[in-house]
């Protein structure tokens, strides 16, 4: 698998306006689409094995009071939903060779597309900051074990964090910048061997905690705080699935075309995702749940960050090796999952200023300003942030899926997406319908945060946003068609023109 396609210039046959076009945004030529089904399976097998997903499963047990099996049921159910949606939306990239920032022009207009793209990029940068913070804790563990008096450095505070942890974070952020500066081919090579490393660390931790807890029997039968199955389903199961989706791959549902544009065919990206993502997720979540549960029995407290567990086990060799592997693996997951999209979004917003590499470096620097070490201290606040992310991402997902699958019947005129006065101009480059639906749906969701009688709107933010965006957009478009008595030009069915056609010009 590779992000190694890097055109040096825009082909002569590609006549796009300069303020909408650069070499990172145009369709990937067919000969450069080299990802096989195994490429996508391997990608997801590496990406699901990340520290955040470990903290998520730990939070369900420590904060929400779920048993191992209840926590697993939430994670697996949410994962299946995400897998199907990612496989469906991946068709855009595999068919047309374009990133999400360009795809969204069809629904939102050539300039209006910047609004959902920047919103999605902003959320992705936030997740990058969270993942990088977790990776930094592994670096801090490494220093605590290997450098005398390193713990004493943490007695002082810098920007709300212990000084030793702040130093570890700065170092870790700089490592991410170094990897990105080497280019996406370096990231690809890095990812091939680094992605599975979290799995290796967990395997060692799993053996250690099972042995320390005296086996799996008592752990797997630990009761939950819920009195019966009905209470669990109504109070926690459905809301936590919605929260899981907001905090896991909801952003990838939108920008999956950033990756599938390199697929050899739609079948390969679809079945590669269908195989790799659910299989790896079940194995990883099961290991994580057992480690958290056994760890609580051994240490007398619930630890939901594997770096903290590495410190508690008091085994220098395992702590050092585990910390290094965790830090490296987090980079291999974090860059493709959370930096690829904002890098393309910035290139789309200011194509004359940003290319992919500049956008990626800018996003990494900006992510530090999110100060994740502050809100990660409070699990409840953290879950609130996840829900807000779902409220922002859900409506845009519903709108763009309704536009592509229903209104346009999966057909896009890619050439027109790069023209200011082309088919997707709408009103001065902005679609009043899509932007109006996006605003209305988002406001409706946040009403539930402040009005108790409709709190379910906010409680199920991503699901509600997806449904509202999808339904409202279709209703508005068909309403305009009926009102005008004809189909407006911007919604007329057009022949599919993608990179496979452009290569023949």
> What would the mean pLDDT of 166-179 be, rounded to a whole number?
89
Q: What pLDDT is stored for residue 440 in this prediction?
A: 95
Phi, psi of 162 (to 5 degrees): -55, 140
> What would the mean pLDDT of 441-451 be, rounded to a whole number?
90
Q: What pLDDT is stored for residue 3 in this prediction?
A: 44
> What would the mean pLDDT of 338-359 be, rounded to a whole number?
82
Residue 314 — left, alpha, or beta (φ > 0 → left; ψ -120 to 50 → alpha)? left
Given a contact cutoff of 8 angstroms between Cβ atoms, the answer to whether 192 and 45 are in contact is no
Structure tokens given for 197: 């490393």
In angstroms, the CA 116 to CA 307 distance is: 35
- Chain centroid to Cα 479, Å, comes to 34
Residue 48 confidence class, pLDDT cut points 50, 70, 90: confident
Residues of the chain above pLDDT 70, percent: 87
pLDDT at 362 over 80: yes
Least confident range from 146-160, 318-332, 333-347, 371-385: namely 371-385
Alpha helices in 214-339 (DSSP H): 217-220, 229-232, 238-247, 250-255, 257-260, 266-299, 306-312, 316-338
What does the pLDDT look like over 398-424, one tens digit per residue?
999 999 999 998 888 888 899 999 889
Phi, psi of 413 (to 5 degrees): -95, 95
Residue 186 confidence class, pLDDT cut points 50, 70, 90: low
Mean pLDDT of the chain: 81
Domain ranges of the chain: 18-97+128-393
- Higher confidence at residue 219 or residue 245? 245
- Higher confidence at residue 182 or residue 118? 118
Residues of the chain above pLDDT 90, percent: 20
Q: What pLDDT is stored for residue 104 in this prediction?
A: 93
Among residues 342, 305, 303, the alpha carbon closest in space to that of 127 is found at 342
| 499-to-78, 92, 127, 344, 361 alpha-carbon distances in Å | 34, 12, 31, 18, 28
Q: What pLDDT is stored for residue 1 in this prediction?
A: 37
DSSP state of 235: I
In angstroms, the CA 106 to CA 431 distance is: 9
Given a contact cutoff of 8 angstroms between Cβ atoms, the answer to whether 169 and 133 are in contact is yes
pLDDT at 229 over 60: yes
In angstroms, the CA 429 to CA 17 distance is: 13
What does the pLDDT look like over 261-276, one tens digit per residue?
989 899 999 999 998 8
Q: What pLDDT is stored for residue 501 in this prediction?
A: 44
pLDDT at 499 over 50: no
Q: What pLDDT is stored for residue 51 in this prediction?
A: 72
pLDDT at 503 over 90: no
| 355-to-238, 282, 359 alpha-carbon distances in Å | 41, 37, 6
Q: What pLDDT is stored for residue 380 in this prediction?
A: 63
> What would the mean pLDDT of 302-319 be, rounded to a whole number?
77
In angstroms, the CA 106 to CA 191 distance is: 32
pLDDT at 495 over 70: no
Structure tokens given for 130: 């969270």
DSSP state of 494: -
In angstroms, the CA 283 to CA 375 distance is: 29
> What would the mean pLDDT of 463-472 be, rounded to a whole number?
94
pLDDT at 188 over 60: no
In angstroms, the CA 215 to CA 107 distance is: 54
pLDDT at 330 over 80: no
For domain 18-97+128-393, the CATH class is mainly alpha
In angstroms, the CA 343 to CA 242 distance is: 27
- Higher confidence at residue 245 or residue 440? 440
What's the pTM value of the predicted model, to 2 decimals? 0.80
> What would the mean pLDDT of 328-356 be, rounded to a whole number?
80
H-helix or E-strand spanning residue 158: strand 157-158
- Chain centroid to Cα 433, Å, comes to 27
**Partner residues linked to 413 by β-bridges:** 497
Among residues 343, 322, 363, the alpha carbon closest in space to that of 203 is found at 322
């Amino acid at each position: 698998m590779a992000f190694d396609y890097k055109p040096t210039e825009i082909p002569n046959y590609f006549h796009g306006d300069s303020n909408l076009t650069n070499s990172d945004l145009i369709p990937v030529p067919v000969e450069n689409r080299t990802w096989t089904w195994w490429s996508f399976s391997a990608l997801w097998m590496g990406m699901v094995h990340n520290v955040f997903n470990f903290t998520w499963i730990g939070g369900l047990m420590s904060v929400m009071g779920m048993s191992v099996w209840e926590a697993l049921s939430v994670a697996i159910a949410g994962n299946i939903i995400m897998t199907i949606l990612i496989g469906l939306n991946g068709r855009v990239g595999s068919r047309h060779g374009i990133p999400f920032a360009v795809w969204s022009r069809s629904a939102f207009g050539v300039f209006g597309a910047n609004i959902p793209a920047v919103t999605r990029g902003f959320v992705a940068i936030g997740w990058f900051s969270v993942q990088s913070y977790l990776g930094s804790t592994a670096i801090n563990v490494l220093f605590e074990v290997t450098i005398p008096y390193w713990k004493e450095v943490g007695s002082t505070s810098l920007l709300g964090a212990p000084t030793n942890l702040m130093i570890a974070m700065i170092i870790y952020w700089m490592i991410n910048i170094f990897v990105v500066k080497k280019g996406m081919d370096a990231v690809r090579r890095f990812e091939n061997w680094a992605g599975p490393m979290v799995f290796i660390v967990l395997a060692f931790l799993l053996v250690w905690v099972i042995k320390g807890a005296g086996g799996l029997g008592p752990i797997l039968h630990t009761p939950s705080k819920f009195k019966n199955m009905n209470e669990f389903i109504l109070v926690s199961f459905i809301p936590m699935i919605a929260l899981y989706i907001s905090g896991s791959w909801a952003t990838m549902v939108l920008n999956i075309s950033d990756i599938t544009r390199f697929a050899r065919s739609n079948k390969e990206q679809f079945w590669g995702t269908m195989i790799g993502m659910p299989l790896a997720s079940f194995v990883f979540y099961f290991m994580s749940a057992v480690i958290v549960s056994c760890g609580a029995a051994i240490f007398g407290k619930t630890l939901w960050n594997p770096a903290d567990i590495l410190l508690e086990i008091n085994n220098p060799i395992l702590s050092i090796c585990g910390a290094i592997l965790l830090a490296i693996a987090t980079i291999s997951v974090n860059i493709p999952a959370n930096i690829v999209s904002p890098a393309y979004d910035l290139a789309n917003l200011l194509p004359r200023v940003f290319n992919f590499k500049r956008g990626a470096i800018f996003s990494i620097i900006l992510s530090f300003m999110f100060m994740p070490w502050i809100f990660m201290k409070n699990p409840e606040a953290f879950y609130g942030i996840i829900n807000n992310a779902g409220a922002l991402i859900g409506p845009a997902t519903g709108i763009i899926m309704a536009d592509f699958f229903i209104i346009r019947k999966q057909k896009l005129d890619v050439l027109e997406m790069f023209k200011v006065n082309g088919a997707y101009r709408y009103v001065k480059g902005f679609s009043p319908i899509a932007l109006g639906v996006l605003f209305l749906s988002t406001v409706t969701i946040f009403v539930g945060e402040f009005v108790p009688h409709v709190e379910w709107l906010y409680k199920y933010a991503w699901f509600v946003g997806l449904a509202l965006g999808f339904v409202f957009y279709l209703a508005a478009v068909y309403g305009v068609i009926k009102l005008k008595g004809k189909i407006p030009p911007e919604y007329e069915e057009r022949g599919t023109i993608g990179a496979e056609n452009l290569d023949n010009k």
